[in-house]
Chain A
């Protein structure tokens, strides 16, 4: 596989994917294989994200959105996010997933529905420069900030099963990309609003400080990963994550979860 088959841009998702498993990166971004299944967690996050974006887009368009409408959009987006040939439900059911999604959306809108959002899905594009030698990587990094506020600051919306720890916030490549982009575009503040899907859902509110040290760390990590990607060598990274990998069938010839269940 030639490096020339890569997408023209890199992204925080590509960097994270390669860092977690180069072979998974190959399946997703080089060979562009469809995932073998869709997780309910991803479907829920996508639907909540879509409904929140709709809410603020209504406001930007000068309309006053209503909760009832937002819940309808959420249900439509959840149906769309589940319209996959193979959904891995685990302990979820369609009803429980919808209830979880609705409670997360209600919570977010109650607490943050009045944010002064002026734009959603704001694209950024920045070069990746190795701080050790000044070399610019061939592929720039693109990404999208979820919400831009009237004061120019950025809000990123996440859904997660548990709260982000201090280490998560420091080494997460996605957060690294956001804070570095924020610094690159003029010291914008980035806040993360994470919807935590615990039994009683809650919102974790974190400010991502765009310090020089953290931006340097991200650029070093991203440069190293980009060099690895450019070699065109994509070894597997076997481990516990294989059990939930969307490409386990192609990589291992077997769905690990199914095999585990059968063995049990």
Chain B
């Protein structure tokens, strides 16, 4: 099934493409690193690791190389990023390792979030005119869900919670009270995130004590 997701519109950058005379011949869209990060958190990123693979020295043209690994509910994704004085903005030329790390993380996050747009931070200084950078006026947005922290519990989550309570032999008003206690709020006031966490907890507990209920509610 197609997963709905969104690219936060404010993080999409449209850059005019210019020919050698400076005339605009088209435009291209990029995503800002901050947008990738926001989207990754929306869809359950758990860890981001980075490793410096090459220290910039005179022998390698002052090129830093970093590998980043992103882990989360969607799996594990990695990316490589490099940065040298020739491939970065002059303002950040003294921070090659940090730029390489951002690029590596951006590449891994793009795969993790399934975003096809190149991150702006991956580009070199000579690939665009910074004066052209402006927020996108429009983007093909696949969906516009709110963040799970504020989204209300879904129908499927409600049902799954009550069935898990039933599997433990807890029914009716007792089930509502039990779920309220476990959620820390009434079921009808719970958020999607709270419900998701409790479902994960209950599933984990079932694995530990599989005879906590029958198959009646599963």
Q: Which residues of A contact B (CB under 8 A)?
A: 2, 4-5, 7-9, 32, 34, 46, 50, 58, 63, 69, 72-73, 75-77, 79-81, 83-85, 123
- A80 to B166 CA separation, bound complex (whole angstroms): 11
- Which residues of B lie under 8 Å from residue A7 when comparing CB positions? 4, 143
Interface string of B140-159 (1 = CB under 8 A from A): 11111110000010010011
> Do A75 and B171 touch (CB < 8 A)?
yes
Known: A69-B216, A79-B176, A80-B162. A123 touches B1 (CB 8 A): yes
Q: Is the CB of A46 within 8 A of B166?
A: no
Sort A-B residue pairs by CB-CB distance and give the 8 closest, nearest first: A80-B158, A80-B162, A83-B187, A76-B162, A76-B166, A80-B159, A69-B216, A83-B188
B172 interface residue per 8 A CB criterion = yes
- The answer on a CB contact under 8 Å between B166 and A8 is no
Could you tell me which residues of chain B, from 157 to 193, have a CB within 8 Å of some CB in chain A? 158-159, 161-163, 165-166, 171-172, 175-176, 186-189
* Cβ A75 vs Cβ B163 within 8 A: no
Q: How many A-B residue pairs have CB under 8 A?
A: 70
- Supply 22 A–B pairs (Cβ within 8 Å), ascending by A: A5-B141, A7-B143, A8-B4, A9-B2, A32-B144, A32-B145, A69-B216, A72-B216, A73-B163, A76-B159, A76-B162, A76-B165, A76-B166, A76-B171, A76-B175, A77-B163, A79-B176, A80-B162, A81-B159, A83-B188, A85-B188, A85-B189
Identify A34's interface contact among B2, B144, B152, CB under 8 A: B152
Shortest CB distance B204–A (Å): 21
Question: Given known contacts A32-B145, A83-B158, is B215 in contact with A73 (CB within 8 Å)?
Answer: no
Distance between B145 CB and nearest chain A CB, rounded to angstroms: 7
A47 to chain B, nearest CB (A): 9
Centre residue among B1, B142, B144, B161 by max chain A CB count within 10 A: B144
Q: How far is the CB of B202 from the nearest CB of chain A, in Å?
A: 14
Q: Point out the residues of chain A lying under 8 angstroms from B166, CB to CB.
A: 72-73, 76
**B4 close to A80 (CB less than 8 A):** no
- B197 to chain A: which residues have CB within 8 Å? none
> Is A2 in contact with B138, judged by CB distance below 8 angstroms?
yes
Q: Are B2 and A79 in contact (CB under 8 A)?
A: no
User: What separation, in Å, do the CA atoms of A52 and B158 have in the docked complex?
Assistant: 17
Tell me if B143 and A77 are in contact (CB < 8 A): no
* With contact pairs A8-B4, A69-B216, A76-B162 given, residues A83 and B171 touching in the complex (Cβ less than 8 Å): no
Interchain nearest-CB distance for B110 vs A (Å): 20
Is residue B198 contacting chain A, with contact meaning CB distance below 8 A?
A: no
In the complex, what residue of chain B is closest to A85 when comparing beta carbons?
A: B188
Within the complex, what minimum Cβ distance (angstroms) separates B56 from chain A?
42
The answer to whether B139 has its CB under 8 Å from any CB of chain A is yes
Which chain B residue has the least Cβ–Cβ distance from A140?
B2
Query: Which chain A residues border B216 with CB–CB below 8 Å?
Result: 69, 72-73
A77 and B142 contact, CB distance less than 8 A? no
**B158:A8 contact, CB within 8 angstroms:** no
The answer for the CA separation of A97 and B66 in the assembled complex, in Å, is 62
B209 to chain A, nearest CB (A): 20
B145 / chain A contacts, CB cutoff of 8 Å: 32
Residues in B neighbouring A69, C-beta threshold 8 A:
214, 216
Q: Which residue of B lies closest to A77 (CB)?
A: B159
The B110-128 residues at the A interface (CB cut-off 8 A) are none
B161, A80: Cβ atoms closer than 8 Å: yes
B17 located at the interface, meaning its Cβ lies under 8 Å from any Cβ of chain A in the complex: no
For A4, what are the chain B residues with a Cβ–Cβ distance below 8 Å? 138-141
* Smallest CB gap from B186: residue in A: A83
When C-beta atoms are compared, the residue in chain A nearest to B167 turns out to be: A76
Hey, which chain A residues are within 8 Å of B186, CB to CB?
A: 83
Output the nearest chain A residue to B152 by Cβ-Cβ distance.
A34
Contacts of B155 in A (CB 8 A): 46, 80-81
**Closest partner residue, chain B, to A123 (CB atom):** B1
A79 B188 Cβ-Cβ under 8 A: no
User: Residues of A contacting B165 with CB < 8 Å?
Assistant: 76
- Other 20 A-B pairs with CB < 8 A, given A8-B143, A76-B217: A2-B141, A4-B140, A5-B144, A7-B4, A7-B143, A8-B142, A32-B144, A32-B146, A46-B155, A58-B215, A63-B215, A73-B217, A76-B159, A76-B165, A80-B155, A80-B158, A81-B155, A81-B159, A84-B188, A123-B1
